Every structure is written in C-alpha cells, then in structure tokens.
Chains A and B, each alone.
Chain A
Amino acid sequence: MLKERVGHATVTIRCVVNGVERTVTTVPNRTALELIREDLALTGAKEGCGTGDCGACTIIVDGRPVNGCLLLAPMLDGKTVLTVEGVARGGKLHPVQQTMVEMGGLQCGFCTPGFVVTAVNFLEHNLNPTEEEVRVAIAGNLCRCTGYSKIVDAILEAAKRMREGEGR
C-alpha cells in the first residue's frame, strides 16, 4: 500500500565501531544488529531470539551491554560500539576469549560472542568477582549447551589472570 510517508525515509548513521568511524545510510526500520551484521559485515553478534531474551546479540554501546536486536539502527547514530570482533588486541585474544577456549566454555559456539562481550564489559567494572556475581552478570545470556559451569569458571579464571597483570 503506497502512502505518503512522513519522517525520514532514510537515515544516515555515523558511529564508531571497534575504534573505526563508520557511516551508513539505510532505512530506519532495521535493528542495530542487522546493521552491524549485514552492512558492516561484523557477524560475530548473533540473532538468537530477536526479542531480547537470549543475549546472543549483545553489543557494548557507550560502555554498556545491550541487546542489538532491540535497538533501532538509527539509534546508533553518534554512539561508540564494541562488538566481539573488537575485543582481541594486536592479534592476541582477550583473556576472556583465551580462557573460554582453554576451559571449554562453549560447545556449539552460537552464544559465545554474547557471553564474551558481556564478560569483558563486566570485568572492566569488577576484576575480583565472586562466582555469584559472575552468574548474575551473565544472567542475560542463555546457553543451551554447556550448563554454564565452564563459562563461569572461564570468566573467573580470566579475572584472575587480569588481576595478575595479563590482559589489555
């Protein structure tokens, strides 16, 4: 049905993603996740449920973890975004990535990027967490394979290594 549309039919979004300034012109009826995966070709963040329940699409926007599937693409304008692709530094995995690999914190891997960015952000605020604090921090990320124990262990181990001076 053709109707005269009001408001902006296209939007230009300027944002900094993983340290690089990006400019995208697109239609507004898309999510931040779609923009990041399709237009920026950063396919680490996954669409699991599309309703904000599973956390597979977690990205860090202005320093806070959010569900990319719930954020409208135009709302990324002027924001600073970190995705799982921006977590490693100089070809070296982030301690959270390293411990997830070493300790088997994943099986199928679909939820892993969400867990990694959530955990990386969490450890920036709390380098000495209890197991309970880790479990609360990752409550917005669902894993259907692991039962979480190894993910929790990996995050606790990453925290330990970072306290001992490894990391960024």
Chain B
Amino acid sequence: MRRFGYLAPKSVSEAVSVLAEHAAVAKVIAGGTDLVVQMKDGVRRPEVVIDITGIDELRLLEERDDGLHLGALVRMGEIETHPLIIEKYPILVDSAKLVGSKQVRNLATIAGNTCNASPGADTPPALIALDAQVHVLGPRGPRVVPIDRFFVGPGRTVLEPGELVTKFVLRKAAPNEGAYYERHTPRKELDIAVVGVGAWVRLNGETIEDARIGLAAVYPTPLRATEAEAALRGKPFGQAALDAAALAAVAQARPISDVRGSADFRRWLIDVLVRRAVTNAVARARGGGPRAGETH
C-alpha cells in the first residue's frame, strides 16, 4: 500500500470538515473490505484515509415512524443476525448474508457496499426494493438522494467530493407487503452475483397494488427495473403478471458477457429470478414464503 495520512474523526461534523479539507485526495474507510484491496492493487491511491468507524452516531439501527433507519456503519453481519430485521425486513438478510464470507461480513458495512458502487453488489437491489433514501452530509449541508438515483456508473456515485453517507432510511414494513432477494452464483459463499434480483410488493387481495424491483449485475449500475414494476402494478398476481414483468426486466437490462456468464445467460437468469423474486415477495406478503436468508 502506498503511504497515506490517517485521520480518525470522532463525530460526523468533524468527519465532514476533515473530508471537505482533503476532498480531492481523501477516501473514507468504513469496513475496508473493498477499499483496502483496491489500495493494495493501486486502483485507488488516497493521500488521506479518513476512518469513520469511531463515530458512534453512524451505528444507528432502529425502526421509527418514517421507516427503518440504518446508519452508514451497520455491518452485514449485524443485519443478518438482527432480530428486528429478520422478522420485518427479511430481504435485507437475504442480501447481506450473501456478501463475502462471515469474516468479510463482520467488517463490511451497508454504506460501503453502496458507495463502492459495484454493479453486482448484493445489497443495492434490496435497498431499491425497499425504496431506501440515502442521507448525505457535505460541505454544503445535508441532502437526501433516492437509492435509484445514487449510482452513476461502475464504482461511481452522485457523492460530491467531501460528502459522506450518514444513513439510509427504508420504507417501513407494513402488512400485505413483502420483499425477497435472490442471486445466482456457482457457489454459495465468497462469490459475486451473475445476476441478482430484489423485489418488493404490496398486495390488495389478489392484486399487486405496488411493486419495486432492483437488479444486480445486468447494467453499469444497480438497476431499478421500472418497466417490470409497471407491468405488475394493478395486475392480479399470477402467470400473466410474472410473464410481463420478466419480459420487461429482460428488455430494460443491458447485461455484458464476462468471466461470470454471457449476456444471453444473464437474460435467462433475469427471466427466472424476476419470477422467483416476485413470487417469494408475494408469499412473504401473505405471511409465508422463505425464511429470512433462505434463498437457495
């Protein structure tokens, strides 16, 4: 690793001010599971590393009236074992449990998995499904960015130099709603999605009143499959709705061929996984479906 200066601010305001001061040459470290590897490879060469792990206010994890508040530093390992999340937000368990290995999940954070902005990251589709609002603080004050507008390209987000993600606020769980994430990988752990699909639905009897779908590894960014959502809205849940949603998601995706799979294979996977994710989201909305994290 190239040499860098190290700073460990103890409050969000201190973090924002040191980050603003060194914006052009600084990187924020939370878990480090992506950044440290990138620094070893020389892909990223910050002159200053700002360690935010000493800031307790970023560890927030609680449900409030306006939704589930997840601080930037909430770890994957916390998400997968947290009773409230297991009970009410199982899609977060589905996705967090698939990141890296146990050792990686004990370091990796929700903000890190988002800000690293890998098109194939597992938690962004779940955050898209739950309509996460990203709370950002910077030199010009706070702002809130909807998750589906947060990503710009591979490894790139809307964050301006000097800005820091402080928390995510997710749509509060409600009766008649359910969400589910699944990815396809050759192995169960320590792998990266060939395709991942997260789906959220609100039911009114047999009708899908509302839906949100997020896709991983099929586009330069995590993708909100708006066309697939539109194909579901107001339709009775069943074969016709699933056909239409799968077709729309495949059409909206722009998968590439790479070491993990061909573009054609990925289109097949989108078709299969959109059907499966919506079906399991509906099952959860009805009070059944797979247990949290049981996505194989």
Contact = CB atoms under 8 A, between A and B. Distances in A.
Nearest to B36: A70
Given A6-B25, A7-B48, A52-B33, 17 more contacts: A6-B21, A7-B7, A7-B22, A8-B5, A8-B6, A31-B36, A50-B37, A55-B101, A66-B106, A71-B107, A72-B49, A74-B51, A75-B32, A77-B8, A118-B103, A136-B189, A140-B102
Given A70-B33, A71-B107, A137 B6 contact: no
B195 to A, nearest CB: 21
Interface stretch (A22-30, A92-100, A145-153, A155-163): A22-30
Given A6-B22, A72-B51, A140-B190, A67 B104 contact: yes
B64 interface: no
A69 B101 CA distance: 14
- B interface residue count range (under 10 / 10 to 19 / 20 to 34 / 35 or more): 35 or more
Contacts of A53: 101, 190
Contact of B102 (A29, A71, A137): A137
Given A64-B77, A72-B51, A7 B6 contact: yes
B4 A140 contact: no
Nearest to B37: A51
A136 B188 CA distance: 9
B3 interface: yes
Contact of A140 (B1, B49, B189): B189
Contacts of B100: 52, 140
Contacts of A69: 36
A136 B190 CA distance: 11
B47 interface: yes
Contacts of B3: 5, 9, 27, 29
A65 B22 CA distance: 33
A28 B190 contact: no
Interface in B91-139: 100-104, 106-107
A52 B53 CA distance: 19
A6 B8 contact: no
Contacts of A11: 6
Interface of B: 1-8, 21-22, 25, 29, 31-33, 36-37, 39-40, 47-51, 53, 77, 100-104, 106-107, 188-190
A83 interface: no
A65 B101 CA distance: 10
A48 B106 CA distance: 19
A52 B37 contact: yes
A112 interface: no
Instruction: Give the top 4 A-B pairs by smallest Cβ distance, nearest first.
Output: A7-B5, A140-B101, A28-B6, A139-B189
B162 to A, nearest CB: 14
Nearest to A58: B103
Interface in A118-154: 118, 136-137, 139-141
A66 B29 contact: no
A11 B190 CA distance: 32
Contacts of B104: 52, 67, 70, 140
B47 A52 contact: no
A3 interface: yes
A140 B103 contact: yes
Contacts of A77: 8
Nearest to A59: B103
Contacts of A30: 1
6 contacts: A6-B5, A6-B25, A11-B6, A28-B5, A29-B39, A70-B31
Contacts of A58: 103
Contacts of B107: 66-67, 70-71
Contacts of B36: 31, 69-72
